[in-house]
Chain A
Amino acid sequence: MIQIVLLIVKVILLLLILMGGFAYTMLAERRFLGFFQLRLGPNRVGPGGLFQPLADAVKMMLKEDLMPLQADSVVYRLAPVFSLLAALSVDAVIPFGAPIHIFGQTVSLDIANPGIGLLIAFAFSSLGIYGIVLGGWASQNKYSLLGGIRASAQMISYELAMGLSVLGVLMMAGTANLENIVLAQRAQGWFFLPQIIPFLIYFTTAVAETNRTPFDLPEAESELVAGYHTEYSGIRFAMFVMAEYINMMTVSGLAVTLFFGGWLGPSFLPPIIWFFIKMAIVIFVFIWIRATFPRFRYDKLMSFGWKVLLPISFIYFLGTAAFVSGIL
Chain B
Amino acid sequence: MIPFIILAVIAIAGALGVILGRQPVHSALALVGNILALAVLYLLLSAEFLAVAQVIVYAGAIMVLFLFVVTLLTAGKEEGEPPEELGGQRWWAGIFAIGIGVVLAVLAITHPGSAVNTGIPSNFGTIHEVGHVLWGPDFLYLMAVAIMLLTAAVGVLVLNRPMKRSRVRRPGRREA
Contacts and interface: CB of A to CB of B under 8 A. Distances in A.
Interface of A: 72, 74-75, 78, 114-116, 119-120, 122-124, 126-127, 129-130, 133-134, 136-137, 140, 142, 145, 148-149, 152-153, 155-156, 159, 176
Given A72-B25, A140-B76, A145-B71, A133 B56 contact: no
A74 B17 CA distance: 14
A127 B72 contact: no
A148 B23 CA distance: 18
A170 to B, nearest CB: 9
B52 A156 contact: no
B75 A119 contact: no
Contacts of B26: 74-75
Interface stretch (B61-69, B89-97, B105-113): B61-69
Given A75-B29, A159-B61, A148 B71 contact: yes
A119 B127 contact: yes
A136 B56 contact: no
B60 A127 contact: yes
B11 interface: no
A186 to B, nearest CB: 22
Chain B residues touching A, majority SS: helix
B55 interface: yes
B75 A123 contact: no
Contacts of B65: 152, 156
A239 to B, nearest CB: 18
22 contacts: A116-B48, A116-B52, A116-B127, A119-B52, A119-B56, A120-B52, A123-B52, A127-B55, A127-B60, A129-B60, A133-B67, A133-B68, A133-B71, A134-B25, A134-B67, A137-B67, A137-B71, A140-B76, A142-B75, A145-B71, A145-B72, A145-B75
A115 B48 contact: yes
Given A116-B48, A133-B68, A156-B64, A126 B59 contact: yes
Contact of B48 (A72, A114, A140, A142): A114
Contacts of A149: 68, 71-72
A176 B127 contact: yes
B71 A126 contact: no
Given A123-B60, A152-B68, A156-B61, 19 more contacts: A75-B26, A114-B48, A115-B126, A116-B52, A119-B56, A120-B52, A122-B60, A123-B55, A126-B55, A127-B55, A133-B68, A134-B25, A140-B75, A145-B71, A149-B71, A149-B72, A152-B65, A155-B64, A176-B127
A137 B71 CA distance: 6
Contacts of B48: 114-116
A151 to B, nearest CB: 10
Chain A residues touching B, majority SS: helix
Interface in B1-58: 23, 25-26, 29, 32, 48-49, 52-53, 55-56
A123 B61 CA distance: 10
A123 B63 CA distance: 13
A289 B165 CA distance: 41
Contacts of A140: 75-76
A300 B48 CA distance: 38
A134 B49 CA distance: 28
B126 to A, nearest CB: 6
A116 B126 contact: yes
Contact of B29 (A116, A134, A155, A176): A134
A135 to B, nearest CB: 11
A124 B52 CA distance: 9
A262 B160 CA distance: 47
Nearest to B62: A156
B61 A130 contact: no
Contacts of A155: 64
Contacts of B25: 72, 75, 134, 137
A137 B55 CA distance: 22
A133 B29 CA distance: 11
Contacts of A115: 48, 126-127
Contacts of B126: 115-116
A136 B75 CA distance: 10
B122 to A, nearest CB: 12
Given A140-B76, A145-B75, A130 B52 contact: no
A148 B71 CA distance: 9
Nearest to B59: A127
B69 to A, nearest CB: 10
Nearest to A152: B68
B29 A152 contact: no
Contacts of A152: 64-65, 67-68
Contacts of B61: 126, 156, 159
